Amino acid sequence: MIDDMKAEDVSGPEVTLESICVPSDAVVFREIEGDVIIVPLVAGIGDADDELYTLNETGKAIWQKLDGRRTLAEVAAALTDEYQAAPGGLEADVLGFAVEMTKRRILAVRG
């Protein structure tokens, strides 16, 4: 879901479907010409040689629903409605995205 990012195994806070995730203070995110761009602000985000990151369409759709109020389950439900997916079918995708992004300090768990 995040382009050109290799795995870096760091333990992040536990993320569940009841978590509310928001962009972390360690990055700045921008939308330019329809693309979501994530610009690392601090050291140690992702790979050393990467300057910034873009999200693919799935990642972008999830990211845009992370409004600081909805839980990940609610995000998945909203996307399920929007894309007319099978009930519960997107929860694993949303959770996987949030876990990966939280490990990389791009997302933070609120509360």
Partner 1 sequence: MTVQALPLWSKLAAKGAPHAFDLELTARCNNDCRHCYINLPSGDATAAAAELGLDEILGIGREAVDMGAVWCLLTGGEPLLRADFGDIYLGLKRLGLLVGVFTNACLVTPAHAELFRAYPPRDIEVSVYGVTRETYEAVTRRPGSHAAFLRGLDLLAEAGVKVRFKAMALRSNLGEFAEIAAFCRERTADFYRFDPLLHGRFDGDAVRNAEIEAERLPPEELVALERADPERFGALERGCTDGMVFQPSGEHDGCDHLFHCGAGQGSFTVGYDGTFRLCSSLCHPDTVYDLRRGTLREAWVEWVPHVRDLRGSDPEFLQKCRRCSLVDLCLWCPAHAALETGSMDAWVDYFCRVAHARAGALGIDG
Closest to partner 1 by CB, 32 or 86: 32
In the complex, the residues that contact partner 1 under the rule CB under 8 A are 3-4, 28-30, 32-35, 37, 39-43, 49-54
Residue 68 C-beta: closest distance to partner 1, Å: 19
Exposure class string for 18-50: b at 16+ Cβ within 10 A, else e: ebbbebbebbeeeeeeeebebebeeeebbeeee
Cβ atoms of residues 29 and 39 within 8 Å = yes
Residue 38 C-beta: closest distance to partner 1, Å: 9
Closest to partner 1 by CB, 21 or 38: 38
